């Protein structure tokens, strides 16, 4: 990872070179809106004068206004995409990562869903894919937005039920069976436990010795011995530290032997509701503002912190030996 000052020194001239385009694009959008307003009023007035239903006039005004503003905003939207991808590529390189705007294949998404790490969805979109290597293990991360369809008597609409990161990381311990780390359900833990299964096998609740951990999480597994082999005190400290780093964003994870790519190699899947990260900020402000890039840089620091807390035993408080 490079320090922010050196990254900013490299990025600032590029952003400055785009500032004239940004100003022109903003001006075009504002002018488009200024045109759309009288056009919309004219359509409404025309509808009233010729006896058309007011709703029809308002609908026509809305369609015209959106069309004019949308056309006027095309250069600004294009610039936003260019700035976002340019910043993410440059910052990814500074952190030793590879970036693509969208994942070619959302890694293990069906497994995230089947293990209940993310909710059921009727609409889904994926973006901002990163991959790299840390502590001798490969990992990848991408953002997901999941929506469920809801119906009322008058309309159908969609509600966002998950917005955050999905992470696949090689885990440097042999994995057998399934070990699931999910959120504590309080008085519903017993019912939750009855419903847990994986690959046709029942998941049993795993009793652990860390009361702080069990106040936040529940662990289920197909093999009590394997689950305890994975859920060492050091690893539980890491997960608690991750919960703190993400400010309690509903971290949950799974180890599943069916995800292994080779002998002695396992994978861990982790989901966290982080909101929408890796965005360039408002284009109504100067592009070459240091705060814009610094905020994005913090998102990349968060990736590094997540991976370090999973893989690096020294990041766990009081940990002195690898797990």
Predicted confidence (pLDDT) per residue in 171-196, tens digit: 777 788 889 998 876 544 444 544 56
107, 213: one domain: yes
Round to whole Å and give the CA distance between 106 and 92: 19
**Helix%, strand%, coil% for the chain, nearest 5:** 50, 25, 30
Question: Domain range holding 110?
Answer: 103-278
What angle do helix axes 74-94 and 4-49 make, rounded to 10 degrees?
160
Name the percent of the chain lying above pLDDT 70. Answer: 89
| pLDDT for the residue 260 | 61
Answer with the one of 22, 49, 84 that is the final residue of a domain: 84
> Is pLDDT of 153 > 90?
no
Cα separations in angstroms, 31 against 40, 82, 187 = 14, 22, 58
49, 128: one domain: no
130, 229: one domain: yes
The strand pairing partners of 145, in sequence order, are: 125, 163
Lowest mean pLDDT, pick from 59-68, 72-81, 141-150, 295-304: 59-68
Average pLDDT over residues 31-52: 83
Q: Are 299 and 277 in contact (CB under 8 A)?
A: yes
Q: Dump pLDDT digits (tens) for 241-275.
A: 888 877 767 889 998 887 765 444 678 899 999 88
Q: How confident is the model at residue 134 (pLDDT cuts 50, 70, 90)?
A: confident
116, 203: one domain: yes
| pLDDT for the residue 202 | 75
Identify whether 96 is part of a domain.
no
Greater confidence, 51 or 101? 101
132, 233: one domain: yes
15, 164: one domain: no
44, 182: one domain: no
Identify whether 145 is part of a domain.
yes
> Is pLDDT of 321 > 50?
no
134, 250: one domain: yes
26, 121: one domain: no
Q: Dump pLDDT digits (tens) for 76-96.
A: 999 999 999 999 999 999 999
Identify whether 109 is part of a domain.
yes
Q: How confident is the model at residue 23 (pLDDT cuts 50, 70, 90)?
A: very high
Query: Residue written as tokens 């080779």?
Result: 262
Identify whether 284 is part of a domain.
no
Per the structure, how many domains does the chain have?
2
Which residue, 209, 175, 178, 206, is CA-closest to 193?
206
| pLDDT for the residue 203 | 84
61, 184: one domain: no
Round to whole Å and give the CA distance between 93 and 128: 14
Instruction: Give me Rg for the CA atoms of the chain.
Output: 25
Identify whether 317 is part of a domain.
no
Which residue, 316, 230, 310, is CA-closest to 271?
310
Identify whether 321 is part of a domain.
no
The strand pairing partners of 64, in sequence order, are: none
222, 133: one domain: yes
Lowest mean pLDDT, pick from 116-130, 183-197, 225-239: 183-197
Sign of the CA dihedral running 311, 317, 322, 323: negative
pLDDT, the chain, mean: 85
Lowest mean pLDDT, pick from 35-49, 98-112, 149-163, 175-189: 175-189
Q: Are 268 and 171 in contact (CB under 8 A)?
A: yes
Query: Residue written as tokens 């990041």?
Result: 315
Identify whether 285 is part of a domain.
no
Q: Dump pLDDT digits (tens) for 55-73.
A: 887 888 888 888 998 999 9
| pLDDT for the residue 248 | 61
Per-residue tokens: 99: 């970036």
243 half-sphere exposure, CB direction, 13 A CA radius: 20
| pLDDT for the residue 261 | 56
């Amino acid at each position: 990872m490079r320090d922010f000052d050196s990254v900013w020194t490299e990025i600032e001239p590029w952003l400055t070179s785009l500032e004239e385009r940004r100003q022109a694009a903003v001006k075009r959008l504002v002018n488009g809106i200024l045109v759309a307003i009288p056009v919309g009023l004219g359509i409404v007035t025309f509808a009233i004068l010729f006896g058309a239903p007011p709703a029809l006039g308002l609908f026509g005004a809305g369609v015209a206004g959106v069309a004019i503003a949308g056309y006027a905003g095309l250069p600004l939207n294009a610039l936003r995409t260019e700035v976002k991808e340019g910043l993410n590529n440059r910052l990814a390189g500074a952190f030793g990562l590879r970036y693509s705007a969208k994942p070619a294949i959302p890694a293990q998404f069906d497994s995230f869903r089947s293990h209940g790490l993310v909710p059921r969805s009727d609409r889904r979109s994926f973006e901002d894919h990163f991959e790299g290597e840390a502590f001798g293990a490969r990992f990848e991360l991408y953002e997901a937005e999941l929506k469920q369809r809801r119906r009322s008597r008058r309309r159908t609409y969609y509600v966002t039920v998950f917005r955050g990161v999905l992470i696949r990381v090689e885990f440097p311990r042999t994995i057998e069976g399934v070990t699931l780390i999910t959120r504590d359900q309080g008085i519903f833990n017993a019912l939750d436990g009855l419903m847990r299964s994986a690959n046709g096998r029942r998941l049993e609740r795993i009793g652990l010795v860390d009361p702080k951990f069990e106040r936040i999480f529940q662990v289920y597994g197909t093999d009590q011995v394997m689950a305890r082999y994975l859920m060492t005190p050091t690893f539980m400290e890491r997960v608690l530290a991750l919960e703190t780093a993400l400010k309690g964003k509903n971290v949950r994870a799974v180890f599943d032997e069916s995800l292994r790519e080779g002998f002695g190699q396992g994978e861990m899947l982790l989901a966290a509701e982080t909101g929408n990260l890796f965005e360039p900020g408002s284009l109504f402000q100067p592009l070459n503002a240091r705060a814009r890039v610094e905020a994005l840089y913090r998102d990349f620091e968060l990736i590094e912190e997540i991976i370090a807390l999973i893989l690096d035993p020294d990041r766990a408080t009081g940990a002195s030996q690898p797990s």
